[in-house]
Amino acid sequence: MSASDSSSAKDAEKGGLSSMPAPVADTAAAFVSEHNPEYERFLELDAHFQGEERKKFIRKVDWRLLPTLSFLYLMCSLDKSNAGNAKLFGFLTDVGMTSTQFNLALMYLFFTYGLCEPVSNVMLRRLGPKIWFPIIVTSWGLITTLTCLVRNYGSYVAIRLVLGLTEAGLYPGSYFILSNWYAPRELATRMAIFYGANTAAGAFGGVIAYGVGNLDGAHGWRAWKWLFLIEGVITMVAGLSTLFFLPHFPHQYQPSTKTSSDGASVTTPAKTSRYFSSLELEFAYLRIKYVAGPNPPTYTFRWSDVIAAAKDRKTYFMMMLFWWGGSIPTYSLSYTLPTMILNLGYTAVKAQALSTPPYIFATIICVFVGWMSDRFQRRYVSIMSCYVLGLVGIILLWVTVHYKHLAGVSYFAIFLAAAGYSAQAPIVGAWTAVNVLNPSKRAAAIGLLMLFGSVGGGSIGSNIYLASEAPTYPLGFGFSVGATVLGAMIPATIHWWLMRRENARRATLDVDAVQAQYTPAELSEMGENSPLFRYTL
């Protein structure tokens, strides 16, 4: 349900139950608020944070989360994809690897990366971002730094495996953190800004590689060694800085009381913040807890919620979108783009520089599509628009690379492909998050869909643009087109239709009969399966 950051439970556009039909919202609020003082407190705070107060609060959250998470993702993307830049600086020759071995090493990263994504999100859910993120970010920065010491194929494979393990938690973890701070109507825009760091990484990667290219031979080191060293050190510094800049989850700032095994009540003291006031932290917690109405999900971690995510059909539909429509074309482009531009007739150094503009354009489109998705609350339409844009770019590029005199058109097609396939990713994340209410289940669902997307998408995407088929790459282009249509656009349509049908069925139910049949606790336990819930389409 697209229940927004509400101003009144009785206002269909501004209420905490905004996606619920107005009569349902009115009745549900009246039914539960009599029995739930915490929900009444949420309504009080919601009434207080109106107008400029609300904008000020959202701006504070934006400035606290987005610069930190976006910079971390920028470094994550650079450290994962800088191998493509290193390749142009003689990395393969110095290490003694063939192109096939290089592609295999790139692929191996995604096995540990994908397998550890669900585990990392579970750890994040239990430890909180202020503990878990400094650990994983500093670790992968160290691994990236050590890559400059690689001497052979075996050591590079080992580095890539460990790098995948340490980087695994950043992407799904950031999506989960954002979903704990932002209401559904705010989420896609923020996820797009965050994900824009990934597309910006392509731009920065080209600029950094262009600059590092001038260090070739300095102090006896090749340019690729300097590339890994510089980016790794920056990442470690960024990891340590998260101890100061990254906040806890909103619920961690609230005191909690649990009953011990001997029946005694144990109160866990709340975390403190110098940045947010106690009133802002309480509102941040309650507005997300009651985002779907007066029957909130539990914030207690339970393994049963992780299992529920693994059994949920929605998880696998979204996995298809992330895998076939996102990871495969995105990773294949990021690894091949410098070489692809080189094949258009440019020098290696100029190819690095020319890989920057397409990613800048992709970043702009990514944020714009995220904003539009929030503005009109049409996730399916937004995702399909991105796939169409990416598909047009890939097909145009596929045709024009056969003709040397059309190099300019090929370069333009790269803009379209990079923008379309990048812009879909944050909408997929937002569509998943807003339709899974329970925080633990949501964390597991995001981790699981990214597991298959990363393992399948990364391993396939890094191996479909074969050096032996350059510059026309029939396998790479053909596979990208087929994956987009069969693996993403069709599943997205089926997923949208099934949720639309369920919303229509629930709209025919009698609210009074539903509330007579189930207790508020039972409705809370149902989460998005509650008859009162409406899916965001």
85 pLDDT band (50/70/90 cuts)?
A: confident
For residue 398 the two structure tokens come to 């596929």
pLDDT digits (tens, 9 = 90+) for 361-397: 988 999 999 999 999 989 999 999 999 999 999 999 8
pLDDT value at 9 more than 60: no
What confidence score (pLDDT) does residue 350 get?
67
Q: Checking DSSP bridges between strand 265-268 and strand 256-259, what pairing results, if any?
A: antiparallel
Tokens 């393990």 belong to residue: 165
Residue extents of the structural domains in the chain: 52-250+306-501
pLDDT value at 204 more than 80: no
pLDDT digits (tens, 9 = 90+) for 136-179: 999 999 999 999 999 999 999 999 999 999 998 998 999 999 99
pLDDT digits (tens, 9 = 90+) for 270-280: 788 889 999 99
The residue type of 110 is F
For residue 109 the two structure tokens come to 């990263």
What confidence score (pLDDT) does residue 259 get?
58
pLDDT digits (tens, 9 = 90+) for 282-317: 999 999 988 877 878 877 888 899 899 999 999 999
What confidence score (pLDDT) does residue 265 get?
57
Average pLDDT score over the chain:
84
Q: What Rg do the C-alpha atoms of the chain give, in angstroms?
A: 24
25 pLDDT band (50/70/90 cuts)?
A: very low
CATH of 52-250+306-501, one of 3.30.70.270, 1.20.1250.20, 3.40.50.880, 3.40.50.1820: 1.20.1250.20
What confidence score (pLDDT) does residue 470 get?
82
The residue type of 534 is R
229 vs 209, residue with greater confidence: 229
DSSP 176-224: HHHHHHS-HHHHHHHHHHHHHHHHHHHHHHHHHHHHHGGGTTGGG--HH
205 vs 15, residue with greater confidence: 205
User: What's the whole-model pTM score?
Assistant: 0.81
Measured distance between the N- and C-terminal CA atoms of the chain, rounded to whole angstroms: 8
Rounded Cα–Cα distance for residues 231 and 270 (Å): 37
SS (H, E, C) 56-78: HHHHHHHHHHHHHHHHHHHHHHH
In sequence order, what are the beta bridge partners of 266?
A: 258
What confidence score (pLDDT) does residue 6 get?
41
pLDDT value at 262 more than 70: no
- Other CB atoms within 10 A of residue 407 CB: 16
What confidence score (pLDDT) does residue 492 get?
96
Q: Is the peptide bond before 471 cis (omega within 30 degrees of 0)?
A: yes
Torsion-angle region of residue 128: left (phi > 0), alpha (psi -120 to 50) or beta?
left
The residue type of 256 is S
